[in-house]
Homo-oligomer: A and B are copies of this chain.
Amino acid sequence: MTTTTQTTTTQTTTDNGVNVTALLGAKQALTDNPAAARFTWRASSEWLKGTHSRATVDGFFGFGAEQKHRAGYQFDTDHPEAFASEDNGVTPVEMLLVGLAGCLTAGIAAVAQHRKIQLRSVKATLEGGMDLRGILGACDKTRNGFDGIKVHYEIDADATADEIAALVAQSQKRSAVFDAIANPTDISVTSSKA
C-alpha cells in the first residue's frame, strides 16, 4: 500500500496595510535631518454653552512645512446629564481613552507588519478609574485625573500568545499617547481678554 502525501506551500505576504518601508525611510530621513522631525500638533476650540464646546482639528506643522489633513474634523465634548449638563458629546476624559486606543492600535499594526505577523482583528477595551471628589473639590487628597487606566487587547493573528504580547509591548514602548499620559508633560495655559 502506498500513501501519497501532498504538501501545498502557499506563498503568503503579510499585509496589515502599513507601509513599513516608508516608515523606515522616514526614520532614516529624520535621523539625517533632525530639524524636519520638529512637529507641532494643533487644535482650536470654541465654547458653545454650559459645559458644551467644539474643537476643530485641521492642520499641523511637520517635515518642515504646514500640513493639512485631508478633511477638517470637529469634536463636541460635554458633561453627562448626571452632572446636570446636556450630554451633547463625550466627556473630555473619554477623549483621552480614544486617543490612547488609536495610538496603541496603530502601533500594533505597524509592529506586526514589520515582524511579518498577519493581523485579522485587534480589539481593545479601555477603562479609566476616577474619584469624582477630585474635580468637585470635595477632597484635597484626591487627584482630578484618572487614578489608573487599564487597556486590554484581544488580537486574532498568525502568532502565538507570546508573540502577541510582544507586539503590544513594543507598540506601548513607542506610543506617543501612552507616554503623554503615563509621564508628566508641561502644559502652559495663558489667557487674554477679547
Contact = CB atoms under 8 A, between A and B. Distances in A.
Interface size class of A (residues with CB under 8 A): 35 or more
A133 B137 CA distance: 40
Given A105-B47, A126-B43, A191 B155 contact: yes
B177 A145 contact: yes
Contacts of A83: 22-23, 26
A67 B132 CA distance: 15
B164 A46 contact: no
Copies of this protein chain in the complex: 2
B125 A42 contact: yes
Interface string A78-110: 111111110101111111111111111110111
A40 B136 CA distance: 16
Given A62-B132, A155-B191, A186-B182, A77 B53 contact: no
Contacts of A131: 34, 37-39
Contact of A84 (B19, B42, B159): B19
A193 B179 contact: no
Given A27-B136, A144-B174, A181-B181, 8 more contacts: A62-B132, A63-B82, A77-B103, A92-B100, A92-B102, A92-B103, A95-B95, A95-B98
6 tightest A-B CB contacts, nearest first: A77-B102, A17-B50, A95-B99, A145-B180, A22-B84, A45-B101
